[in-house]
Amino acid sequence: MITITELDKHYGALHALKSVEVDIAPGKITAVLGPNGAGKTTLIKSVLGLVKPDSGTITVDGTAVNGDSDYRRKIGYMPQIARYPENLTLQEIVDMIKDIRGYSGDSGTSKDSSGDLDMELWDRFDLDTEKDKPFRTLSGGNRQKVSAVLAFLFRPKVLFLDEPSTGLDPVSSSILKDKILAEIKRGTTIILTSHIMSEVQELADQVVYLLEGRIYFELSVSDLLADTGQQTLERAIAWKIGQNGAVASRNGMTEGYEPADG
Ligand SMILES: Nc1ncnc2c1ncn2[C@@H]1O[C@H](COP(=O)(O)OP(=O)(O)OP(=O)(O)O)[C@@H](O)[C@H]1O
């Protein structure tokens, strides 16, 4: 579904992505993991066309990202921090996004008549009660909910969720997880980042682990648990990083270290 080859990105002197190669399988949940500053958001934003890589190629569903902006219509994106015009109400923000995407007419939300739009999260988060509030007055969690609604709204084929549960209460976070799992049944391809390993273990099929801008390993969650003999993803990753890290330092490698196969 998404193929990334030899992707490189510098921010000034900082080498944020180093010859990154990834193949994201269709219809699965892939978690892009790694420590703070590893390059996860840069990688995701490169696929979204929000960051311009120095070199390399990205194709989404067969379309080269640089050559065609229409591929973005297939993509939903829930950013790490939701930023929308602060003075618009929640309803106005949804209407604005619908306008931009060429949906007209019905200004309703949960009662959208076209049926093309997915308002399930709007209803489940009970956002009708918040719809007339300006965005600047919303709590952090409610901002996240708006962001989640907009990511799913146009029934995208590919969904990017950057730390989706941050700021959500447990009930809302469960609602969002149910929605993510339901989308997978519909055949959507989902890429998420998270620092909550229990959440990743619950949701993800595949893990792509980035370290200092490089792919450190790419494995299925089940293989990662089996290979490391650990019960939890958190322990499995700590084990793998510890083991590979020890090998790397024994060999005097850090910056240019190539991880062991799998
Ligand atoms: N616009 C920018 N200008 C300069 N440096 C940037 C910019 N965006 C990111 N960086 C740097 O690039 C590196 C990778 O950042 P990125 O946000 O991709 O990391 P991340 O893995 O998503 O981190 P986190 O887990 O903290 O969200 C970091 O060192 C960051 O400071």
Helix (H) or strand (E) holding 58: strand 55-60
8 A C-beta contact, residue 88 and residue 146: no
Nearest-angstrom CA–CA distance, 14 and 236: 29
pLDDT digits (tens, 9 = 90+) for 185-242: 999 999 999 989 999 999 999 999 999 999 999 999 999 999 999 999 999 999 998 8
Ligand 1 mutation target, pool 8, 17, 42, most atoms within 8 A of CB: 42
d(CA 182, CA 176): 10
Going by alpha carbons, the residue nearest to atom 8 of ligand 1 is 42
Q: Where are the alpha helices (DSSP H) in the chain?
A: 40-48, 90-100, 120-124, 140-152, 170-185, 197-203, 221-228, 233-250
Please state the ipTM of this predicted complex. 0.98
Q: Which amino acid is at 56?
A: G
Full-model pTM: 0.86
Q: Which atom of ligand 1 is nearest to the CA of 51?
A: 1
Q: Output the six-digit token pair for 54.
A: 């120095």
Angle in degrees, CA 125, 127, 129, rounded to 5:
125
Give me the phi and psi of 254, to 5 degrees please.
Answer: -135, -75
Which protein residue has the closest C-alpha to ligand 1 atom 31? 37
| Conformational region of residue 136, where left means phi above 0, alpha means psi within -120 to 50, and beta covers everything else | alpha
pLDDT at 250 over 70: no
Which residue of 15, 17, 20, 40 sits with most ligand 1 atoms within 8 Å of its CB, as the best mutation to test the pocket?
Answer: 40
The residue type at 12: G
Q: 149 CA distance to ligand 1 centroid (A)?
A: 25
Number of neighbouring beta carbons within 10 Å of residue 54? 11
What pLDDT, on the 0 to 100 scale, is given for residue 225? 95
- Which one of 63-72, 105-114, 164-173 scores highest in mean pLDDT? 164-173
3-class state of residue 3 by DSSP: strand
Contact between 137 and 95 under an 8 Å Cβ cutoff? The reply is no
In whole angstroms, give the CA distance from residue 103 to residue 81.
25
Q: What is the pLDDT of residues 81-126, one digit of tens each?
A: 888 999 999 999 999 998 888 776 554 454 444 568 999 999 999 9
Task: Give the model's pLDDT for residue 254.
Answer: 43
Distance of alpha carbon 188 from the chain centroid: 13
From the alpha carbon of 45, which atom of ligand 1 is closest? 18
The residue contributing the CA closest to ligand 1 atom 13 is 37
Task: Show the tokens assigned to 100.
Answer: 């931009």
Q: What would the two tokens of residue 108 be?
A: 């309703």
* Phi, psi for 43 (deg, rounded to 5): -65, -50
Position 104 scores a pLDDT of 62
pLDDT tens-place string over residues 4-62: 999 999 999 999 999 999 999 999 999 999 999 999 999 999 998 889 999 999 999 88
Ligand 1 site residues, Cβ closer than 6 angstroms: 11, 14, 16, 34, 36-42
Cβ distance 77 to 48 under 8 Å?
A: yes
Nearest C-alpha to atom 30 of ligand 1 is from which residue? 37
